[in-house]
Structure 1
Amino acid sequence: MHLYLADRSSVTAAQELIAAFGDDAGFEAAARADKSRDLGNHVNFCRWRQIERLIVVMSVGRAVGTVH
């Protein structure tokens, strides 16, 4: 899984969604992405999709990818 984070605000948003929605945080991020897409806002659509992916990575209890 490739993950791109433009800045720290994505991590903050992911943490806030996890705190507010628990196991459903990924679904909430996906819903926000879908809403942005429906409004024609491709920038926020991409941002929320990346946050959705980040939530998945954060929820895994082990390292993901190459560990040095």
Structure 2
Amino acid sequence: GLSMTEENYTYRTSWMLRRNRFPGKGKLKIPIIPKFQEKPGDFDDLLLTGFDKTHLEDQNHLDRMVKFF
């Protein structure tokens, strides 16, 4: 069978990925995510790049957020 590397195990068991990290509501215990409250200036310095413009070897725009539209 397939064995999991230590790095993969650490990633998969990280507290950031645990689905029970947030308390849920209702029968299905679905977490409630509060609506984002934008403040003036939140997006003034936002830099975007298109998904189709990204390449693994490109190190030029690591400060940008990738958009998919």
Instruction: Quickly name the TM-score band, shorter chain normalised.
Output: under 0.3
The structure carrying a bigger helix percent of its residues is 1
Rg comparison, structure with higher value = 2
- Report the TM-score, using the length of structure 2 for normalisation: 0.20
Relative CO higher for 1 or 2, CA cutoff 8 Å, sep ≥ 6?
1
